[in-house]
Each structure stands twice: as structure tokens, then as C-alpha cells.
Structure 1
Amino acid sequence: MNLTELPYRTLAIVRGTDRDAALRTVLTLAEEGITAAEVSLTTPDALWVITRARRELGPRATLGAGTVLTGEDAARAADAGASFLVTPGLGEDLRRSPTPELPLLIGALTPSEVITATENGALAVKLFPASLGGPGYLKALRDPFPTVPFLPVGGIDAASALGYLAAGAVAVGVGSPLVGDAAGGGDLDALRERVARWRTALTEEVAA
């Protein structure tokens, strides 16, 4: 899994209140070119969503589970067809995860947490919540950690996404500014319009 090759350097975060709407959201995002998505385990029947999306999108889909907190979460997500796992942090139970084959995006904010994430094999450090420091904080972190791949998440819109990518992020994770209310039953045409605007905004930076 190469995060720099994600379309538009974007990982969509689907966190909804309705399983069918969440599934439709994942599939619509893929249809519109945002083919990398994580389904938060806080979504009702999230594992069902992952299983059905995997069936629809095939084995090569970049489809993961988010808000993974425990080793049991990780194992169940792997069984459902997730190809990567995203955590808000790293607890002791998750360090003993029985799914070492799945890439981990481990949440961290402070330098000590960044070190812990990298020591535990993170494919990338999920800088969360990124909005606390903005692109300037990412730039400051990259001074002592120039080789660590960072993926900022939290409060990111198209304008700040460009700032993070310019500061050296490998990709960005984006939730409501892109997904909106679609995963709760909102209008899919409105979702398609947001995706179109996102693609336009990100194309220049990704092509650079």
C-alpha cells in the first residue's frame, strides 16, 4: 500500500449513522474517483459495510477499517476484508494485534507518540487531530522526523489539504468536508458534487 499513489492523495473517512448509507457512500466515492476509504468502526454494522464494499469493489480496493482500538477490532476488521487499519492512538492491546500482515496507520500528535508509532511498525503516522497545529505543526515535526510518512487527519478541507501536502504529508484523510451527510442518508448527488470540487482543488498539487 503506497499512500503517495492514492488518487488525489486522499483517504476518505466514512463515519456514518446508517449502514446502508455508509455502503452507498463508499461505493459512490469509488465511482467518482476517490478509491481509498476507511470505514470507522463507530459506524453501525461497520464490518458488514466493509465486507459488502469489498465484495463490490474487489480485492484490489484500498478499503480499511478506522477507529481500531483493540486487537479484537483488528482481527475482526481483517476477517471482514479490510486491507489496512487506522487507529486514533496505540494502546497495549493493539500492540499485540494478531494481524501483523495488515498495514497500520497509527494515530499520534506529539513527538513521543510519533516515535512510539514508528517503533511499532506504522506504515504512516496519522497526525491527529491535525487541526490543533495545522500545516505549520506538520512542517515543524518533519524537521526531527524527515523520513516519517505523515497522514494528517482532523478538520481538513481542500485549502488545508493543499497546505499539508505542501508541508510534506504523503496524503490526507478527510471526513465531513468531503463525505458530508451522505453516510447518514444524505443526498448522493451532493456527495458527487463535493467529490468533483475536491478533485479539482487537489489536482494541481497532486500533479506537481
Structure 2
Amino acid sequence: MELVDALRTHRLVAIVRGTDPSSVLDSVRTLVREGVTLVEVSLTSTDALDVLAGARAALGPDAPLGAGTVLSADDARAAHRAGADFVVTPAVCEGIRAARQLGLPVLAGAMTPSEVVEAVRLGAEAVKLFPASDAGGPAYLRALLGPFPEVPFVPVGGVDTAAARTYLACGAVAVGVGSPLIGDAADGGSSDALRLRARAFLETVATKGDDQ
């Protein structure tokens, strides 16, 4: 898949992490039905690889499906076998190189300028600014875009709808959202509430007037 094009088009990556495998899978299905195209399942979820395989079967071969919290080469290989077609890392790590060797595009976690350079050098297509809220928020993103104007940044961490709007206006290609979007749905909570949150985030990222 063309990860950067997908990020620029959809502007939202849903990060699903939970303790109840059936609820994690249901959350993925619910998000996709609501129109959230880019979804990642964190490998820290219970039975994450089985969930990924189930999601791939449910969504079909052409739907984008990501594996998150990929750290090692083994993680990347396992995610690939389970059906992921892009990976997301929390840091600059071995998983980046291994995923690229498998032909999987990578959204690599980085925080400092040196980490951004290294992530790109290892082959990451885009950089996940993480944890964005602790790094300094939108002001820090603006600072990074000075020396790295061509790097596609995706802020992750503490991104609610208001923050998403601000990050996109500051030049982020997309935002990654976990708990402010998923809530407790992946742990057995309400799917109806997840639908409402998904609609709110989709409305937010579809509003382009603030970032022209």
C-alpha cells in the first residue's frame, strides 16, 4: 500500500488496544464500517496476532490493516504472517528494518530530531511523533517541520478532537488516536459510543478549512 498517500487522504489512524480479543476485533469492524479506513491493532492487545488474522479475514484482502507496537524483527514477521500490510512502531527500533525487508511500509515512532533522521534512514515512510503531548504539542511539531519540511508527521498521544484539528492545521499529514477514540470499546465497552466518537473524529479530520 502507499502509506503516505493513505495518510494524506484519510488523516486519521485509529489505534486499537484491548484486553478482550472479541471486543478488539469488533472495534476494528465498527471503525471500518463507520468509515475509518486506517486501523492498527496494537501487538500489546490480548491475542493480538489472532485478532489481526481475524480482522484480515473479516475486512478482505484489500482493506488497509496495520500492526502497532512493532518493536522487533520477530514482531514484524509475525504481523506480516497475520495479514498486516503496514506496521507502526513506538520508537526507532529493529522492527523498522525488518518490516521494510518484508515489503511493509512503516510509520515509525520518533521524538527527537536525531530519531527522525534515523527513522527516515532506516526506511520509514512517515514519522509518528510520539508521545506528542509530552513532546510539546503543536508547537513542537511546527519546530520539527522547520528542518524536516518533507517528512510526513503523524502526532500520536493525547490527541482528542480539538488537538487533532490543531495538529492538522500545523502541518501534520494525519493524527493517530487511541483511547480518546476507542474508549473502553476494545475491553468490552459500548460499540454505540465508539460509533459516535468515530463520527466525531471523522468530521474533525474532514474539515480542511483550518489548515489551508
- Give the TM-score normalised by the residue count of structure 2: 0.92
1:141-184 Cα distance to aligned partner (Å, 9 max, x none): 00000001101100001111111111111111001111110000
Partner Cα separation in structure 1 for residue 111 and residue 12 of structure 2: 20
User: In structure 1, the residue corresponding to 2:70 is in which secondary structure?
Assistant: coil
User: What is residue 97 of structure 1 aligned with on the other side?
Assistant: 98
Query: How far has the Cα of 1:45 moved from its partner?
Result: 0.7
Superposed CA RMSD: 1.5
The amino acid of 2:171's aligned partner reads G
User: What is residue 75 of structure 1 aligned with on the other side?
Assistant: 77
User: In structure 1, the residue corresponding to 2:88 is in which secondary structure?
Assistant: strand
Select the residue among 21, 25, 28 that pairs with 2:27. Answer: 25
Query: How far has the Cα of 1:98 moved from its partner?
Result: 6.1
The amino acid of 1:145's aligned partner reads F
Runs of 4+ in 1 over 4 A off after TM superposition: none
The 1:187–1:170 alpha-carbon spacing in structure 2 relative to 1, beyond 3 Å, is same
Kept in 2, the 8 Å contact 1:74–1:99? The answer is no
Residue identity (%): 56
1:203 aligns with 2:206: yes
User: In structure 2, the residue corresponding to 1:17 is in which secondary structure?
Assistant: coil
- Give the TM-score normalised by the residue count of structure 1: 0.94
1:181 aligns with 2:165: no
Partner Cα separation in structure 2 for residue 142 and residue 12 of structure 1: 23
Q: Trace 1:86-165 onto structure 2 (pairs within 5 A).
A: 86-91=88-93, 93-94=94-95, 96-97=97-98, 100=101, 101-132=103-134, 133-165=136-168
Kept in 1, the 8 Å contact 2:99–2:105? The answer is no
Partner Cα separation in structure 1 for residue 197 and residue 109 of structure 2: 26
